[in-house]
Structure formats: C-alpha cells, structure tokens
Structure 1
Amino acid sequence: MTIRAQVASLLQRRGYVLTDAVLSALDDFLAIVRSEGADSDADEDPDEEDEEESENEESENEDEDQDEDAADGRSHAIACPHCGERIAIAIDLSGEDQDDVQDCTVCCSPIRVTYSVEDGRLASFSAEPC
C-alpha cells in the first residue's frame, strides 16, 4: 500500500471526505515531503516505488482525460495556484528541464511550470502563479 493510500485511508477513518481539493492537498503535501527528503538524503528514497505507483495511477487516470497529450508526454496533477481546482499539467519526459507558462483549464490564469527530468523520469516539479 502506498504512502498516499495509507494517508488517504487514515483521513477517511478520521471522518474526512476525500474531495478533489483534499486529494490535491495530499498530493502537494507528499510532493513537499519527497522534495525535502531528497534534499537531505543523498541515498535512494525507500518510498520511491510508492511514489512511482502513485504517479502512475494518477497518470493513467489523467491520460484517459488528456488523450491530446503528446505520445511521449505525460501529465502531472496539481491544484491551480489561482482557483485551487485540480488540473492536469502536460509534461514532456523525453526532453530536458522545462520552464514554461501554461493556463489553468478552469480559470484560464497563467501558471509558471518548472520541472526537471532525469533519465526520462520527473525529478522535480513546481507550479506557481505568474
């Protein structure tokens, strides 16, 4: 069971409803924890498989909705920094690091998207208002 699934299960047992906003906040929290763990520990992350499973599950669900993404691209779910809605941001893992501006599909506000790619995998990701 992934860390994400364990925390989601704990939240449900505590009476929280797992809305899109709650799941988005959980994803953001786990991304911060992963980022801080990577900064403080040069060894491989023992939860790396859990992260990959979580990203793969999200990616599979989003790919159904985002068929127009490039064949070599993927999408990454975020909470829009402007409206808070959960949206999918297209990412390209076949290239180099990216620094781009994409519009929110809900509120149309610009979002600065920055990510790095290592060995065809997402190494870091950030999304902030422009």
Structure 2
Amino acid sequence: MYEKELTCPYCLEAITILLDMGSDYNSEIIEDCEVCCRPIEIKYSFDEDELIYFNYKKIEGNEF
C-alpha cells in the first residue's frame, strides 16, 4: 500500500488515503473523506513501485 496525502475538494481539510500499488496500471477508486464523509473520485497509476499519475475530484451532486 502507498500512503498519499491530499486536500479534500469539499471541506479543504488535509487527509491521507491508501493506494493499492498492486492494482492495474490505471486505477479508479471512490474514497470518502475522513473529515466530511463526502465521496472523492481518485484516479492513479503506478509504474513498478513509483506513483506516476494521481488526480482526484468531487463527485457532482455531493455538495451541501
């Protein structure tokens, strides 16, 4: 597992997520913010053990 810090796109709090390094080349997951509990769409890629792509965004319709 790979630990990655990001800023929640809803509440702007710093959070940490775990990424599976053994998953397919292009991975897409939904993780809930540990502070505000709203879902975040996360896309990432590893090449061997190196994170080569990481992007995340809000899921429309989940704003308060």
1:95 to 23, 26, 46: 23
Which residue among 14, 31, 34 is the counterpart of 1:86?
Answer: 14
Runs of 4+ in 1 over 6 A off after TM superposition: none
Bigger CA radius of gyration: 1
* Percent identity over paired residues: 31
Residue 89 of structure 1, CA deviation: 1.4
Structure 1 length-normalised TM: 0.43
- How many residues of Structure 1 are paired with residues of Structure 2 in the alignment? 58
Deviation at 1:95, TM superposition (A): 2.2
RMSD, aligned α-carbons: 0.9
Unaligned runs of 5+ in 1: 1-72
* Structure 2 match to 1:128: 57
TM-score between the two structures when normalised by the length of structure 2:
0.83
- Residue 109 (structure 1) aligns with: 38
Residue segments in structure 2 that go unaligned for 5+ positions in a row: 60-64
Higher-helix-fraction structure = 1
